[in-house]
Amino acid sequence: MKKVGLLGGTFDPVHNGHIEIAKSFIGSGYIDELWILLTPYPPHKIDKKHVSYEKRLLMLENAFNNHEFKILSIEKDLPKPSYTYRTIKVLKKENPDYRFFFCLGEDSLTKFHTWKHFNKILEEAELLVAKRPNFDHSSVETTILKKTTFVEHQPIDISSSSIKSNINDELYLKSYLPSSVHSVIEKENLYR
């Protein structure tokens, strides 16, 4: 049975922190492949403006051009806003023999109980969670922790919003963006 990790996000833009967490998931040995899910309209960011879906998809394809990673645009065609439980249900139906792991950072685990139908996600997939140093997850419900496997990870202190805030600082961008993503941002004049 193929074991597939699912890593979702707006990736606006994708940065080295995303790359490193993806490598931690693949390198953990728990999954055979990692599928990257580009979210067009995340429910918790519905009021924020994003670079177009197509440009974010282009940046993702440039950043994750490796056979261990597969970029999926399935959420673009699903009802809006994008809810994880819907996406996993569709993927499970299309791939009934696959074992799915939904991948997230330990910081997101503490809020997982607030996700729409989080219990349905746990029915269809296990959680694969990237550890953060000195992070306390004692407030996480036991039912969630029973379906959770933790993987080693050394996070990079970077966020998409900090990339946007420092868009004119070339040295900063070169430090935190894959060169292929930096090229797309420059060529398309994004975030300016």
**CATH code of the domain containing 9:** 3.40.50.620
> What is the β-pairing status of strands 99-105 and 126-130?
parallel
Backbone angles phi, psi at 146, to 5 degrees: -65, -25
Is the pLDDT score of 67 beyond 90?
no
Cβ neighbour number for residue 69 with a 10 Å cutoff: 21
Residue 112 has pLDDT above 60, yes or no: yes
Residue 70 has pLDDT above 60, yes or no: yes
Residue with tokens 């997939």: 125
According to the model, what pLDDT value does residue 44 have? Answer: 59
Range of the domain at 151: 3-157
Q: How many structural domains comprise the chain? A: 1
Q: Which residues pair with 6 in a beta bridge?
A: 35, 102
**Residues 182-186, mean pLDDT to the nearest whole number:** 96
Q: Is the peptide bond before 43 cis (omega within 30 degrees of 0)?
A: no
pLDDT band at 46 (very low <50, low <70, confident <90, very high): low
Q: Is the peptide bond before 13 cis (omega within 30 degrees of 0)?
A: yes
